[in-house]
Structure formats: C-alpha cells, structure tokens
Structure 1
C-alpha cells in the first residue's frame, strides 16, 4: 500500500494509494520517520475500512480536536470573537482530557459548576452546543470512534436533571409612541448635540432596522428611483458573509434620508458610532423620566408591530426587518387581543364600504340603462 522513496534532496517521500481514498503523501528527513508515518496511516485506513471508525491517536486531547475543528471551519470564514472566547473556555475546562475518555460525568460536573457560578441555563446550553459541533466534527470528518451525541444529551439534561431554564426569558419592553415622543423631546434646543438622534429614532421606527445597520448605511447604496437602500453584510442566522440585501424605504423613511444627507453624494447616511447612538438614547430616556428599561433596539419591536398593523404581510415585513423565518419574526409582533379587535373592525368597515360602493354602482348602472332605454323610444 505504501511506497517509500529517497529523493535527490536526501529526504524520504511516502505515498499511500488505497482504492476509494485520496492519496496520502508526506516528506520526512529520515527513512525511520517515513516508515512510522506510513505504518500509522495504514493502520488508520485499515480500521476505517473494517469498522468505519478509527481510534484517536495516543495523547490527543479535547483541546487538540477543538483546535483541529477551528482550523477546519475557519478556512475562508471569520469566527466571531464571542465564539473564540467560548472555545478557549472549553479548552481550559476539558483540554487535558483525552477525547475518547470524555464522558457524561465530565459534562454533568461542568453543568453543576456553571450553575453554582450563577450562569444561566441558556448560556450553558450554548456552550454545550459548541462542544457538540467539535464532537460531530471528530466523528463525521475525522471518523473517530466516539459518541457524537454526548454533548447534546448533556444539553437536554440541563432542564430535566439540573432544573435550569434553557430558553431566555422574553422581556417585553416595547416603547410606546408617547415614550418615544418624550425621548425625542429631550433633544429639542440642544444645538451642541452631535448626533441627530430625532432623525435616527424616527428612521428606526419607520424601517425596523438594527442600530448597526442604520449606522452602516451609505449614500452610494441609495436608489432614488425605486426608493431603496442596500444593507451591506446584513445579519444572518447561518451565513456570515455576502448578505447584502436591498430593502424599500417607505415615504417617511425616505423623507428623513433626503433631509439628513443634504446634498451629500457619498459617505454614511448617519455618520455616527453604533455605541454612541445607544448611549445617547439611554440618557435621553432617563432624562425624560421613563422608568421602563426600553432600549434603542426595542424600537425595532414597535416598528415591526406597526408594519403588521398597516396591513403588510409576513414576507413583506420579513424583507423590511431581515428575518428569515416566521418563528423568529413572531417574537417581534407583540400582537394583543385589542389589536385583533381593531383589525377586525377595520376589515369589517372596509367590507361594508365595499358593499356600499358595489350597491351604488349597481343602482347607477340601472339608472344609466333606464336613461338609454328612454332615449331610444
């Protein structure tokens, strides 16, 4: 299976060819190292052919395969800093354990330790989900003889065995129109205010965009004929790159844009830092005497609810908000019983108006027919 050749450079080259597998090759400084490499790879292929799985190399630990997984997935992809931080923490916790020795008892102890630290169940579940990705990589890509369901099974036990919630509590703190008016009122007469917060707040309300999206909009991406703008690299649940999306700007939002750019032809529409916008909003909320902890992001909730109240359907609202599925979008609707009654009343009124118009049209046609008949006599 393996051939070992001496190269003109004095190094030794190994080439292994097995039907059904890609050729394996390597170059080594001595024949002994080349022979050891060949023996190890042949054993690996033999185990794979016999059982479909192979044993982990001696001395390889969880840390080794976390690094291997990160190197594998980061080929052409940038991992978020929060994810890197979690993987570092997992390496610190489980790094010295041999991958095949990792057990449910290690994970149960991990959950209990995190619980004593005051960490929420949803956070622990996220950590275990990331560890699960590593184990599945070991099983599916490296063909290691381990249990790929180990971390997923532990994750399910968080709620049943460890009595922790694995879903975050949804706190409804959607600002009312009166609260937004009060917040905007805090900026009146402040000539030294560098951020045009009234325009930013109203634009968020008329578009449902995230503050990062608002602060990232560019004048060059506006289309004055179609009244649209391109949101670059829009947040996506799975894809991290190439998520540019063209969204419509409704009349009120477009009117704000025209005033804000004031003849400028390039640069950011709202040239402000995302964090500065959030901080300014929070300060104005406190100055307005609003006790509820509404955040700038909560304007997005109100905007989406307003879109549905306007009569826009799910696909139309999803295009505006950037959501990819109804299950996520429905968290932002905040539809109440009173809203259903109002919507029904509006529909009923429109239906009655339509009936009235139809009846009037019928009567008018009858009158026209009578006049035509009389004129022909």
Structure 2
C-alpha cells in the first residue's frame, strides 16, 4: 500500500495508495519518519473503511470547517468574545490549508511563530485546544478523514519538545500597596462612577476572591452568626457546576458586606457586572499612571501572599482562595526573604511574651502563697 523513494536531496518521499481514497504523499528527512507516517496513515485508512468515513470535498479548507463548526455550536450556546477572536486568528493562520492536508509541520511552525511573538506557552496551548475542537467536530460529526488528535498531540508536546513554560502571565505581576492606593485615588475624582470600586477593590484584597465570585455573592448566602458566605459554583478543575463552598469573611471583609447590604434581605451583595469591574479597574490603572499591567485578578495574588504573611496555614489559605492543592496555590504566593525574618521575629516575640507571662503568673502564685503563710 505504501511505497518509499529516496530523493536526490537525501529526504524520503512516501506515497500511499488505497482503494476509494485519494493518494497521500508526504516527504520526510529520514526513512524512519516516512515509515512511521505510513504506518499511522494506513491505520487511519483502515479505520475509515471500518467506520464509513469519507474524504473531505475537493477544495475544503480548515477555514471552511472553522466557520462550519462555529455555526454548529452557536445554535446551542454563545461563545465568549475572546474565543471568537482566537477562532478568527486560527482561520487567518490555517484557513487556506486543505483540511486533510493539515499536518504536524503546520502546527510546529505555528508554535514557533507564536514563540517568536513572545506569547506564553499557556496561551499557545489554548489556541491549539480550540483548533482541536474543530478537528474533532470534523472527525465525529462530519465523519471526515482527518486526525482528530493532531492538535492535542501538538499541545501536549509543548512542555517537552518545545520547552515552553506553560505558565500564566498573571503570576509575575503582584500589585504594590502604592499602586493600589493610586488606583483607588482615581475613583475619588469620578463623581459619576456607578460601581463603588474602592470598596470592591478592598473586598478583593480582604478575601482573595475573583471578580466573578464577588459579583455573584447573594445576601441569602450570608451567615450572620458565623460570618461566612456560600460561593456558588466556585471554579474547580473538574466540577463545573454545583461546586458550592462556604468561606469565612474576615472582619474587614464582613464590615464591607454589612455596609453594602444595609437593610436589604435578598439580591446580590455587589450588584455589578464583573466585566464592568474589570474594565473600570483597568481604566483607573491607566489614569493613575501605573506602568505595570496590573489587573483586578492580580489583587488575588497580593491577598493570598498577605494571608500567609499574617500567619494562616496552607489549608486555611486554600479555603479562602478556593485552591485544591498546594502545587497550584504556591503559584500565587510571593513570599520574600524579609517575610521569613519578620515571621520568625514575630514568633520569637510571641514565645517570649508567653514565657514572661508564665514567669509573672508563677511569681504571683508564689507571692500569694507567702502572703497566706504570713497571715496564718
């Protein structure tokens, strides 16, 4: 079924012919790679015969099926603007390539170009994940002769073959107190600002909550006796819905909640759109002259670092932040060497105070004993 030819350039060409399918030809740098490709392609063709898959119509491109996929999924749900933007960028990049001709070399070139642009590995992985959805749609719904795992395999190879750091930008930008003060000061001049951003910002710093969580808190979920709140459908790597969690509100956060609730008995504590909160914060940052790209979400990093700074342990901080394991949580901590010295000195002071108190109690007991003896 497969024939191999060594070219004058030293490369190897493989030609695969199968009844009912268009001939498949590809060129590789070694005979080993050519034979591996042939073996994998022959397996796919065998599967096509068994499952009844068909070749894509002549002239069908990746761009055509990206559009087709978007029409298919948007009947049932609305995509976020960010996802639509990525799909359009993928269409611009791969749109003219035949859907059946899309190959690993195309994706490798895409990854390399994104690296040159300075894009982080996690962003590239997200792009490939969306492309993978299109390929799976072609394979499962359209029954086309395509490799549904092509983009997934490229995405999973990022950490190894391309040695990219799959890491979010946000862990690098912890706002300083002076930056936060400058941003809050901007809102003092905004007389028509509907959102009470200074209080929302402070609440984020006191709780480490995401803006979506803050804007989703309902008065009905507050427990006035225990000073806690139930966060509904909290973000979780596995559970998308029904992941409700009861979280304590520290005194400073609880004070803000009481002011916002007032005499109301139902509804949202912070009746704001989370996207509006994010936009207002970003605009104020620019007006405040803060040069670093600090976002509202970065308040979460500072809050978690502050929690550790006041002496909360890992399980306690994880409950506040909603993290499930230390490996994830530690990405949000930014403890400095000076923080360790401060914590150690604070611990020594507490231990010394306790020792002094014990000595004073012992001395007082001794004096009272001597006084009773003298009276007797």
TM-score (norm 2): 0.66
Distance 1:182 1:357, change over 3 A: same
How many Å separate the matches in 2 of 1:300 and 1:278?
13
CA contact (8 A) 2:171 2:332 kept: no
Distance 1:133 1:239, change over 3 A: farther
* 1:334 to 2:334 alignment: yes
How many Å separate the matches in 1 of 2:334 and 2:362?
42
- Trace 1:243-254 onto structure 2 (pairs within 5 A): 243-254=243-254
What is the CA-CA distance between 1:368 and the residue it aligns to? 3.0
TM-score (norm 1): 0.66
How many Å separate the matches in 2 of 1:81 and 1:283?
20
Distance 1:57 1:84, change over 3 A: farther
Distance 1:113 1:289, change over 3 A: closer
- Trace 1:266-281 onto structure 2 (pairs within 5 A): 266-281=266-281
What is the CA-CA distance between 1:122 and the residue it aligns to? 3.1
Distance 1:165 1:303, change over 3 A: closer
Report the counterpart of residue 195 of structure 1 in structure 2.
195
Which SS does the other structure have where 1:192 is aligned?
Answer: coil
Report the counterpart of residue 31 of structure 1 in structure 2.
none
How many Å separate the matches in 2 of 1:242 and 1:358?
50
- Trace 1:211-230 onto structure 2 (pairs within 5 A): 211-230=211-230
Which SS does the other structure have where 2:355 is aligned?
Answer: helix
How many Å separate the matches in 2 of 1:289 and 1:117?
26
Distance 1:374 1:177, change over 3 A: same
What is the CA-CA distance between 1:173 and the residue it aligns to? 2.6
Report the counterpart of residue 298 of structure 1 in structure 2.
298
Which SS does the other structure have where 1:329 is aligned?
Answer: helix
Which SS does the other structure have where 2:247 is aligned?
Answer: strand
How many Å separate the matches in 1 of 2:56 and 2:316?
51
How many Å separate the matches in 1 of 2:315 and 2:193?
38
Distance 1:114 1:311, change over 3 A: closer
Counting matched residue pairs gives 324
Where does the alignment leave 5 or more consecutive residues of structure 1 unmatched?
A: 1-53, 71-75, 138-145
Where does the alignment leave 5 or more consecutive residues of structure 2 unmatched?
A: 1-49, 71-75, 138-145
CA contact (8 A) 2:174 2:301 kept: yes
How many Å separate the matches in 1 of 2:203 and 2:308?
17
How many Å separate the matches in 2 of 1:190 and 1:119?
35
CA contact (8 A) 2:131 2:151 kept: yes
Report the counterpart of residue 317 of structure 2 in structure 1.
317
Q: List per-residue Cα deviations over 1:87-123 (Å, max 9, x = no partner).
A: 898899599656xx98655654554566678755433
